[in-house]
Amino acid sequence: MAVPEPSEWLDRELYSRQLPVLGLPAMQRIREAKVLLSGLQGLGAEVAKNLVLMGVGSLTLHDPHPTCWSDLAAQFFLSEKDLGKSRAEASQKRLAQLNEAVQVFVHTSDITEDLLLKFQVVVLTASKLEEQLTVGALCHKHGVCFLVADTRGLVGQLFCDFGEEFTVHDPTEAEPLTAGIQHITQGSPGILTLRREDKEHSFCDGNLVTFSGIEGMVELNDCSPRPIRVQKDRSLEIGDTSTFSPYLRGGAVTEVKRPETVRHKPLDRALLQPCVVAPSAREVHHAHCLHQAFLALHKFEHLYGRPLQPWDPVDAEIMVTLARDLEPLKGAEEEPLDEALLRTVALSSAGVLSPMAAILGAVAAQEVLKAISKKFMPLDQWLYFDALDCLPEDEELLPNPEDCAPKDWRYDGQIAVFGAGFQETLSHQRYLLVGAGAIGCELLKGFALVGLGAGASGGVTVADMDYIERSNLSRQFLFRPWDIGKPKAEVAAAATRDLNPNLEVIAHTQVLDHTTEHIYGDNFFSHVDGVVAAVDSFEARHYLAARCIHYLKPLLEAGTQGTKGSASVFVPHVTEVYKGPISAEASEDAPTLVCTMRYFPGTYEHTLQWARNEFEGLFRLPAEIINRYQHRASTSLADVDLTSLKPVLGVLRVRPQTWQDCVVWALGHWQLRFCDDIIQLLRLFPPDKVREDGTPFWSGPKQCPRPLEFDISQDMHFLYILAAANLYAQMHGLPGSSDQIALRALLKLLLHTDRPHLAPIFTGELAESGPEQSKELQESLEVWSKGPALKPLVFEKDEDSSFHMDFVRAAASLRSQNYGISEPVDYAQSKRIVSQIIPAIATTTAAVAGLLGLELYKVVGRPRPIGAFRHTYLDLAENRFQRSVPSAPAIQKFHHLEWTGWDRLNVPAGQPERTLESLLAHLQEHHGLKVRMLLCDHALLYSAQESPESQAQYLPLRVTELVQQVTGWVPEPGQRVLVLELSCEGEEDNTAFPPLHYELW
């Protein structure tokens, strides 16, 4: 790294996806935090895994209890070899391997008051109520943030106590609002008018704002936050500006987020007067019933010294009676307990399930991070989650005690909920997972723990063409540092087999799209029971959804962005088909107009894109041009873009030979881009220029620029030279330098001598290029071509030591200074914008994988009605959890026909194979469809509009013969179906007939 950042303690490459979500201040608090986690069953392992991946300073584990068979259903750090060993001690080594920067300790004694004082956060999982009350009281007394997390079968519970007065510095994930300023009046109050493109803002009355980059009314720059009032015309009252200097131009107004204070009750009071996170009164009552269920479970264990037996009706009735006799909750509307709900909870409570542990462990870990970082609002105070919809609706299909009894098997925790018969069904499944990234790794872990495909006839295929990078390691927990550079699919498959040696995992490193249908074709999908999509593009999701529709396979799909996530399920003929966006939002991906970016930037994003293009135009494209010229077959210059060579030659007449030559070039290019080019632009468009309609040219989104003067004391001026000179040296195969002291001395020498050597030979991009300049460019090209081949530099966003991001960041900053555009102070935000990084964190990833695991239970079991399935959307920053029943398939109609997106017209080819004429007759006779057009892969096979003579040539042909003639189609080995599209007489514009599946065999 060139210029030291205040965060040299942080591995930016490792946390490149996490930084945009949390920011540097929060990450620094996380890196310094100490957390105590008691309880290392499946839920505790999930919490620990997420905290270590996300870089908590130190984690102390506490769990002296021996590993037992039921632990292995959800605890992925343990195996059969660890049976009888302390859970915490057996987990420590594997946990520490996830992140070498995190210290992982084990505490083997009791939890005492003195011990608690060493930590900022204490988490209890799978603990007794008495221990929760004791530890919770001590933590509340000493200001230690305290969490309780627990799962019982298909229900989960989370409690947070962050003290009497906990301050949240940054309550939401959203970036502060910012907008460009058009004008500010002098007055009381002063009225701020926003630039035209920012008038539809989201500022609200009472928002606090600050200002930057204003010229003229400089008193507002970096002032203390000011409250605003929004006017009817969307302008802003900003307080008294009557004594300030007149506003000239530029600047931005930026929202200042207000800290919020949270007040939590201690556990003993919160048990009797629970405040629950729930979106509706009905769900509040549901959560209160689950609250009483957990209290009754604790009371049963206290009275009988054991947990409830799985699916034991006697134990369940005792638990329901205990819940009925509990003291009514304070502050809650008196509604009768849902005894059917309590009974179901009791019957299934003995189980330990991996998906439930993943979901609750993710939310709990996020709450720990909120406690440490003071970023995002914590839960207030109880969260209850249940997935009882995973159980059959028909009571006759529910498990019995004998089927759920322990068998000293790794799946005992799961069998306690669903029974041994369901476990057998799971083991025979054959699933395809597409994507071995963050979500894919979590899913593979889940597959191994639940035993999906772990039987003799089952298995999992994972497909991913990507390779492991360092930035993957903070979320993709199956990978280790020594795996960097290896194929994701192969490493993930091997790691999954380590988790469960009985599971056969096949790795495919070929992309799954239209180009590989000879690999992933009819024969492949005939051996697949379902597909899980863990891909990062909408295009890939749509392709997989189309394959699942074609082969009638269920599709499970999940995605995340920062703290937001979704998990969806699509079941043939039961739910609607996948209909996600075709691509990311156009507003995010639309390219900026070149003219705007070059000469009239209005946002920091514009200057970043300009700087990114500068990198390409200086350090990659010219090198490629010169190298091609070196290897030219003739002396012709017709194919050489000489103008693109101007900036890379710059002030030099010969190739650079030394580090000093590179510095001279960098200094000359600085002068060209940030001074001379701006002066030239202002000659063409003076500050006082007006348009034909009389309005100022430099108004609205066009900010009038000003040239900069090089100042070695300015960090970004210096960083630009350092980065540009090193990149120029790399391109020419010369040694660079990171010696900042020596560079400052050299720059002072160059700047205090006469500067003719810093004047560019070739003028900027706005100047005209005449014949003389073209001649000089040709001569320079000849000179540059005589040395060794140049090295074109490929932009690398994750290599901080390469000066790539340094150059882009410095260039964007200087360009912003030219145009008075405010800049983000956070390096991570700049990197995210220029690299188009999708923000991602381990907690959200784990949560959506767990949610898909729950839907997998439903898909694998007996056929289920649509009401059993759930789409889930969550936002861990804002504590939103929305679960909904999917839509039913939309029904389309044409005359007497009805169909959905899952349907097709199946027509056998027959023996001997039918002709086109026979096919058309079959469709009319059996389906009442008079075909107007028939297509195969957009190629026209038949049209009713053709002449009888033309039709007579095609109607007698066999269908496959016709397809071969028209499209050149060659059947793939094992291909079973030829897909045709049809248009029929009488159809309306919005009619989309189902595909015709012409069955070859």
Element (H, E) at 648: helix 646-649
Tokens representing 62 are: 């506490």
Whole-number Cα distances in Å, 366 to 468, 562, 876, 916: 25, 12, 7, 61
What is the distance between the alpha carbons of residues 959 and 964, in angstroms, rounded to a whole number?
9
Q: Determine contact, residues 723/834, Cβ cutoff 8 Å.
A: no
Whole-number Cα distances in Å, 157 to 220, 277, 285, 868: 49, 11, 15, 22
704 is catalytic: no
Tell me, what amino acid is at 898?
A: E
* Sheet containing strand 178-184, strands side by side: 226-227, 208-212, 252-256, 178-184, 191-194, 236-237, 229-230
> Which residues fall within 8 angstroms of residue 102, CB to CB, at 6 or more apart?
51, 52, 55, 56, 57, 58, 59, 96
Going by their DSSP bridges, the two strands 166-168 and 121-125 should be labelled as unpaired
Q: Determine contact, residues 744/712, Cβ cutoff 8 Å.
A: yes
Side-chain-side CA neighbours of residue 273 (13 Å): 6
Listed residue (222, 245, 214, 244) closest to 703, CA to CA? 214
Listed residue (14, 36, 13, 10) closest to 25, CA to CA? 10
* Sheet containing strand 939-943, strands side by side: 905-908, 996-999, 977-984, 931-936, 939-943
Whole-number Cα distances in Å, 469 to 9, 16, 849: 20, 11, 21
DSSP for 1-51 reads --SPPTTTTS-TTTTTTTHHHHHHHHHHHHHH-EEEEE--SHHHHHHHHHH
Query: Which residue stretches of 505-644 are H helix?
Result: 522-525, 538-551, 586-589, 594-599, 604-619, 621-630
DSSP class of 294: H
Going by their DSSP bridges, the two strands 252-256 and 260-262 should be labelled as unpaired
Tell me, what amino acid is at 357?
A: A
What is the distance between the alpha carbons of residues 527 and 543, in angstroms, rounded to a whole number?
19
Q: How many helices (H) and strands (E) does the chain have?
A: 32, 31
Given the residues 595, 662, 704, 984, select the one marked as catalytic. 595
CA dihedral defined by 38, 40, 41, 43, rounded to 10 degrees? 70
Listed residue (21, 71, 156) closest to 850, CA to CA? 156
Under DSSP, is residue 560 helix (H, G, I), strand (E, B) or coil? strand
Listed residue (700, 676, 697, 674) closest to 687, CA to CA? 697
Measured in residues, the chain has a length of: 1001
What is the distance between the alpha carbons of residues 21 and 1, in angstroms, rounded to a whole number?
22
Listed residue (569, 562, 658) closest to 875, CA to CA? 562
Q: How many CB atoms lie within 10 A of CB 736?
A: 17
Tokens representing 154 are: 């298909």
> Which residues fall within 8 angstroms of residue 734, CB to CB, at 6 or more apart?
656, 657, 658, 659, 662
Whole-number Cα distances in Å, 384 to 151, 337, 380, 387: 10, 16, 12, 10
Tokens representing 370 are: 């909120």
> Which residues fall within 8 angstroms of residue 722, CB to CB, at 6 or more apart?
2, 3, 738, 740, 743, 803, 806
Listed residue (833, 904, 806) closest to 175, CA to CA? 833
Task: Provide the annotated active-site residues.
Answer: 595
